[in-house]
A and B are shown apart, each in its own frame.
Chain A
Amino acid sequence: MNFELMGDSILPILRGAQITVMLVATSIAIGFFAGIGMALARLSRNPLVSVPAYAYVFFFRGTPLLVQLFIVYYGFGRADFVKDTVFWAVLKEPFWCAVIALTLNTTAYTSEIIRGGILAVPWGQIEAARACGMSRVLMFRRITMPVAIRQALPAYGNEIILMVKGSALASTVTVMEMTGEAKSIISSTYAPVEIFIVAGSIYLAINFVVTRAVRRLEHRLTPYQRARTEADEKQAGRKIAFAALRGRQAADDIALPQPSSDRPQD
């Protein structure tokens, strides 16, 4: 084991790690919102909306990421009609081709994860929201989505980790991300074991941060499961005391909104 070589390779591989993080962060950021949209489209009762969404998810989950990447990169490279448009400025760059492929891929998986989360929202909560007279949009924003996201979070954390690892494929289309840098160093040192140990450790470190971040978020979004800290108790105590002081006023606050008088009677 050549430790000196491993030490020398850390800096260039970290330079590649920057590209890896940029690739994944960009694709995840776009893919998350696109995934929510795709999940809603998939749940739509209108087949004109749900069938294309189903086909999209079926295609991108059913084909290897490497194939998708090659189709985007070499496919657009061969399509002459693309080259005369403004899109070529973006599609010419290997980095953006990789971002497009990763985003398309993660959108498919994310939509399924979110869809699962939405379907798992307890019916009672939806009924309660309806009973409170919430509009569909408000109910989606306040009840369905927060609960769905919370339910989907562990699976979504998995998806982020898979993306970090999947981004290694970008090296096959000349993006010098972490694996690309590692391969380039190996090509002149012929020491794959040492270099891949360094690269693998950095992937591990990135995914450790991702895991911790997801767990923190999970913790924050699950107040009832959180062990009550002293600060929590204090705050809760203060709230109860405050509510007691306000007496009837507090009871009024939590009362259900009255149906407005101009609403036609059933």
Chain B
Amino acid sequence: MKLWTSLAGAAAVVLAAASAHAQIDSIKLGTEGAYPPYNYYDASGQLIGFEIDLGNELCRRMEVECEWVAQDWDGIIPALLNGRYDAIIAGMSRTDERREQIAFSNAYTVTPAWFVASAESDLAGLETLEETMAALEGKTIGVQTATIHENFLREELGDGVDIRVYDTQDNLNLDLVAGRLDAGLADATSWQAFLDTEDGAGFAHFGPGLTGADFPVFGEGVGVGLRQGDTELMAMFNDAICSMIEDGTLAAMTTEWFGVDTSTPCEQ
């Protein structure tokens, strides 16, 4: 009997050592690098943005080495599944559709979606959802590919509008300025970054801010995307995010980048 207990004890020690050995000490973070102010390259080619600050702070709190990997948006989920990196921090909303493929951490920011058009167009100044949807009929609307915004347009407006799909938000903005689009749909904070530029000066958002509360297609806030089954990494991210929420760092960080506090409550 004593032999058995000592054997079990030895086994427990070995298992503990094994799991300690499996302790994650370095991870790769995937981001898009073309989505200001979330993540983008500055003029010197440096990756910056709210999520870059956030990711670096999360890594510091998780005590892991982090390396950033830039990946085009339309391949960002397949590349996570293929193991090019271990986590997506790229302004990705937590939707049911994506949950079929990947897992999400606690949300770290939540912002509404806005329609934006030229301030001189007949769309500007619309307020209610009903009149907005009616006025969009027959218009040409730009969205970024594979986003909640594209899904919303296809589901709610479908064939009634001409949907133009862009690889990046930057290119969408260029075409909005060029006048090829009547309107665009994207995240409010991303629009705000555009509206603050010289190009965006003549534009304004219209209609109500759209959220997951009204349309489930918008999901429940933005979280870190992880492979299903990476539960240990998930727990580490959740703890780190909640610690940033609780000590007010996240609120300060979102205010710094977005001008308003868009942080979320801890879900644990």
Contacts and interface: CB of A to CB of B under 8 A. Distances in A.
Contacts of B63: none
Contacts of B145: 183-184, 187
B177 interface: yes
A139 B175 CA distance: 50
Contact of A77 (B78, B97, B175): B175
> Quick one: which of B81, B165, B166, B177 has the most chain A CB within 10 A?
B165
Interface string A50-81: 00000000000000000000000010111000
A44 interface: no
A190 B142 CA distance: 22
A77 B75 contact: no
A238 interface: no
A19 to B, nearest CB: 14
Interface string A158-178: 000000000000001010100
A190 B177 contact: no
Given A188-B146, A190-B81, A190-B101, A183 B164 contact: no
Interface string B62-81: 00000000000011011001
A199 to B, nearest CB: 14
Interface residues of B, number: 23
A190 B77 contact: yes
Contacts of B75: 186, 192
Interface residues on A, range: 10 to 19
B8 interface: no
B45 to A, nearest CB: 19
A94 interface: yes
Nearest to B151: A188
B22 interface: no
Contacts of B174: 74, 77-78
A209 B145 CA distance: 32
A187 B179 contact: no
A212 interface: no
Contacts of B146: 187-188
Contact of B165 (A78, A174, A190): A174
Given A83-B179, A92-B180, A174-B164, A187 B74 contact: yes
Interface of A: 74, 76-78, 83, 92, 94, 172, 174, 176, 180, 183-184, 186-188, 190-192
29 contacts: A74-B171, A74-B174, A74-B175, A76-B178, A77-B174, A77-B175, A77-B177, A77-B180, A78-B177, A78-B178, A83-B179, A92-B179, A94-B164, A94-B180, A172-B171, A174-B142, A174-B164, A174-B165, A183-B74, A183-B145, A184-B165, A187-B146, A187-B150, A188-B97, A188-B146, A188-B151, A190-B78, A192-B75, A192-B78
